[in-house]
Structure 1
Amino acid sequence: MRFHKAELFLFLLMLLIGIGGFFSWAAFSAATGGIVVGGVETAANFAFMGAVLSALAVVCGSLLVFPIMTRSLRERGTLQRMTESLSVRSQSLEHAAVTDGLTGMYNRRYFDEALAEYLQAFGQIDKPIGMVILDLDHFKKVNDTHGHDVGDEVLRQVADCLQVFTRYHDVLARLGGEEFAILSPNINERQLFNLSDRIRQAVSDLRIIDGNVTLRVTVSAGLAIWDGVESGEELYRRADKQLYEAKRKGRNRVCAA
């Protein structure tokens, strides 16, 4: 078994202290006529050797053991700070992996995972789950006419609008481009339709300023209520089909399966 340098120095320090203690005891015994006999001169020699060894122990502790302990504590503190920093960074990266950087909403990856968990959890207690797929109307024209910076601002304001109207346990996500989704548990079709229509109306009331131009945008929405047996992908396809139906009927409207 190999010993660390600090352990070897500690053993040396303990040995010096032990021998120094022995000489101090011998000096005391010689001076008082105890087990060690030798008189004053012998006691003085033992006392001198004890003092020398004590001095060596102090030097060893000061120059060898103490610096190693100090360096070890500094390294431990540095490693602890690095670990904490890496932990924070890991949490940030984990959050970034499931968050849309532009709007701050969840992304498609998180939405798909939440959908699978919700179907399993609410299926066990026989509660409904509603899904809404929303898509901004003629959004490409906004980007082409006013630029992507204005288009990004439109997406951010729409995302804020969605967050205002939804509940804390609803899952909001930007699925990509100008498409958003809401996963809303324990809700019936009428309630989900009313929620979607309020959002549609609120989006149409938004005003986005671009210089001396005020933009107005609209959104189409398709919704579906989980039937209790279909997969998440099948539920999404039903809601998406209703979204395209809303587009086909003229946009700025809500259609339900």
Structure 2
Amino acid sequence: MRYHKAELFFFLLMGFVGLGGVFSWAAFSAASGGVVIGGIATSASFAFMALVLAIVSLACGLFLIYPVMSRSLRERGKFQEMTESLSVRSLSLEHAAVTDGLTGMYNRRYFDDALSEYLAAFGRIEKPIGMVILDLDHFKTINDTHGHDVGDEVLRQVAECLQVFTRYHDVLARLGGEEFAILSPNITERQLFNLSDRIRQAIAELKIKNGNVMLKVTVSAGLAIWDGTETGEALYRRADRQLYEAKRKGRNRVCAA
């Protein structure tokens, strides 16, 4: 087993201290007429040796052990700071990996993972799960006419609107482009339809200002309730088909499977 340098110096110091104690006891014994070690009866000799060992021990502590301990503590502090920094960075990267940079919502990767977990968890307790797919109407026209900066502002305001109307355990995500999704557990089809329609109306009332122009946007939505056996992909396809049905019927509406 290999010892650290500070441990070796510590053992050396303890040896000096121990010897100092022996010589101090011998000096006291000789001075008081007690037991004399090695035939030496002079207490001054033992006292001198004890003083020398005390000085050596002090020097050992100041010039050997303390610098090593001090350097070790500084290195440990730097290592701890680096570890904490890496931990924070790791959490930031992990959050960024599942978050949409524009809206702050979860992205498609997180949504897919959450969908799998929700199906497994709520399937065990036989509770329903609802999915809503929302798509902004004529969003390409907004980008082409007013620019992508305005389009980005539209997406941010729509995301804020979704966050206002959903519950804390609902999963909100921007799936890509102008498409959003809501995963809402323990909800009936009627409740999910009403929620989706309230969101549709609120988005229709948004006013996004671009210079002297006030933009109005609408959204179409399709929803489906999990049947308890289908896969997450199958549930998504059913909700997506209803979204296209809403588009086909004139947009700015909600359709349910």
TM over 0.5: yes
1:30-64 superposed Cα distances (whole Å, 9 cap, x missing partner): 1111111544xx21111111101100100000011
Q: Gaps spanning 5+ residues in structure 2: where?
A: none
| CA-CA distance at 1:161 after TM superposition | 0.4
**Aligned residue identity for 2:202:** A
Distance in 2, Cα, partners of 1:109 & 1:2: 49
Alignment of 1:72-221 (within 5 A): 72-221=72-221
Matched residue SS, 1:100: coil
Distance in 2, Cα, partners of 1:3 & 1:124: 55
How many residue pairs get aligned? The number is 255
- TM-score, normalising length from structure 1? 0.96
**Aligned residue identity for 1:44:** A
**Aligned residue identity for 2:84:** E
1:168-212 superposed Cα distances (whole Å, 9 cap, x missing partner): 111111001110000111111111111111111111110001111
Deviating more after overlay: 201-210 vs 15-24: 15-24
| CA-CA distance at 1:149 after TM superposition | 1.2
| CA-CA distance at 1:3 after TM superposition | 2.2
1:130-183 superposed Cα distances (whole Å, 9 cap, x missing partner): 110000111111111111111111001000000111111111110011100001
| CA-CA distance at 1:10 after TM superposition | 1.0
Distance in 2, Cα, partners of 1:200 & 1:2: 71
Matched residue SS, 2:126: coil
Percent identity over the alignment is 79
Distance in 1, Cα, partners of 2:3 & 2:172: 58
Counterpart of 1:71 in structure 2 is 71
* C-alpha RMSD over aligned residues: 1.2
CA 53–142 in structure 1, closer or farther in 2 if over 3 Å, else same:
same
- TM-score, normalising length from structure 2? 0.96
Distance in 2, Cα, partners of 1:15 & 1:57: 9
Deviating more after overlay: 172-181 vs 246-255: 246-255
Distance in 2, Cα, partners of 1:71 & 1:81: 15
Q: Gaps spanning 5+ residues in structure 1: where?
A: none
**Aligned residue identity for 2:252:** N
Distance in 2, Cα, partners of 1:200 & 1:107: 21
Matched residue SS, 2:35: coil
Deviation above 3 Å: which 4+ runs of structure 1? none
